[in-house]
Amino acid sequence: MKIILRMCAIAAAIVASLGTLGVARAGDEGADLRESKAVFQELMNTPDHQIPDALLDRARCIVVIPSEIKGAVGVGAQTGEGVMSCRTGSGWSAPVFVSLKGGSWGAQVGVEKTELVLFFMTERGAKSLIAGNKVKLGGELSVAAGPFGRTAEASTDLNLKAEIYSYAKSKGLFAGASLSGATLKIDKEDNTKYYGKPVSSKDLMMGEANVELRPEAQEFLSVLPMGRHAER
């Protein structure tokens, strides 16, 4: 009984810490963009783990979550905020602010800060997010660990069949990160605060929104890959 009570107390402390972290980050969309730029650059500049050109060329949208926090005692809690941009006929769309929330089951104990980058590979993936304002990873859309290797031949999935590929850099105590069951959701409130007016998520992602791009937004978009846009 004491063990159960102790585990419950630990779980409550972790959940409370996750809530505090979420509150601390809320309202600083400019920081999300600057951190997202740094995370993406670090991923792209890792010399011994390069992302295949084929994946970069075919990606329809890119999501960067610079501060996903996962805590778990038996059942894990996930929460994170970040930005998303999709390819349009004239380049990458204005950033869309998103959040990642969900749970993962297991016997894990600890807290982990994870930096995530997700590549949406299909039109269906982007449309699902626009249509429902949120999408369940590993449920509605298939998710696979992103391959490494500069050429497509070097990857373990030559056909890039998954709808989303994920890359993560972890720091802390938690082991065995998983996106299973997590929900990616468009953060309408953050979009309104950042752009100074209500903006359609669809218009933002399709490159049709009449919004001003601040320097940090332009800098984030400038580091995204410029390769050819391959239709799937």
In a domain, 232, yes or no: no
Q: Distance between CA 104 and CA 43 in Å, rounded?
A: 25
* pLDDT tens per residue, range 112-147: 567 889 999 988 888 888 888 888 887 778 887 777
Count the alpha carbons within 13 Å of 123 in the hemisphere toward its beta carbon.
6
In a domain, 215, yes or no: yes
In a domain, 54, yes or no: yes
Q: Please state the φ and ψ torsions of residue 119, each to the nearest 5 degrees.
A: -110, 115
Residue indicated by tokens 């380049």: 91
pLDDT computed for residue 59 by the predictor: 93
In a domain, 81, yes or no: yes
- Average confidence score pLDDT of the chain: 75
Q: Distance between CA 60 and CA 89 in Å, rounded?
A: 11
In a domain, 179, yes or no: yes
Tell me which residue range forms the domain holding 156.
2-222
pLDDT band at 68 (very low <50, low <70, confident <90, very high): low
With CA atoms as reference, report the closest residue to 225 among 91, 122, 97.
91
Q: What does the chain come to in residues? A: 232
In a domain, 146, yes or no: yes
Strand partners, 169: 115
In a domain, 227, yes or no: no
Instruction: Give the dihedral of Cα atoms 121, 124, 127, 133; nearest 10 deg.
Output: -90
Decide if 136 contacts 107 (C-beta within 8 A). no
pLDDT computed for residue 178 by the predictor: 54
In a domain, 228, yes or no: no
pLDDT computed for residue 136 by the predictor: 85
- Structural domains of the chain, count: 1
pLDDT band at 69 (very low <50, low <70, confident <90, very high): low
Structure tokens at 15: 């959940």
* pLDDT tens per residue, range 139-173: 778 887 777 775 545 444 446 778 888 888 765 33
